[in-house]
Amino acid sequence: MIFQFRLETSLRISKQMMEAAQGVLAEAIRELQKLSEKKSIVNNQYIEVIERQKKACLREPHQLNDWQRFSSRQKKQLDELETLEKEQEITVAKQREEVIRLRVEHEKYNKLKEKQYQAFLREELRKEQKVIDEISQRSAGIKVREVLS
C-alpha cells in the first residue's frame, strides 16, 4: 500500500506561501540596504556642506546665505531618508515575523506528515506480522495433522 498524506495540498501551499514571503523579505532587505547607503552618502555630503559653510563664514561671508540654503536642503533630504529608513526597518521586521509564522506553520504540516507516515509504517508492519502469524499457524496445523495421521 502507498502512503498518501491527506494534507499534501496544504503542505505544498504552505511551502509556496513561505517561499513567497521569503522573497518579499529579501526585497524589503534590499530596499533597506539601498536606503541606508543613500542616507550614508547624503550624510557625508551634509557633513561636507557644514564644513564648507563654516569656511565660508570666515572667508566668503557673501556666499554664506547660499551655503545655508544648501545645507538646509541637505538636512531636509537626510531627515526624509532617516524617516524612510525607519519605516523600512519596521516593514522588514514585520516581514521577518511573517516568514517565521509561515515557517512554523509549514513545519507543523511536515511534522504531521512524518507522524502519519510513521503510523502508516507501523500499521503496515502489523499487517505483515499478522499474515506471517497466520501462515505460521497454518503450517503448524498441517504438521500436527501429518503427525496425527
Each domain of the chain, given as residue ranges in start order, spans 8-148
CATH (residue range 8-148): 1.10.287
pTM: 0.75
Nearest to 95 by CA among 34, 36, 18: 18
Residue 144 predicted with pLDDT over 60: no
Residue matched to cell numbers 515557517: 103
pLDDT at 147: 60
pLDDT at 143: 65
Over the chain, what is the mean pLDDT? 92
Nearest to 103 by CA among 42, 25, 50, 38: 25
**Interacting residues of 92 by C-beta distance below 8 A, sequence separation 6+:** 25, 28, 29, 32
The answer to whether the beta carbons of residues 53 and 67 sit under 8 Å apart is: yes
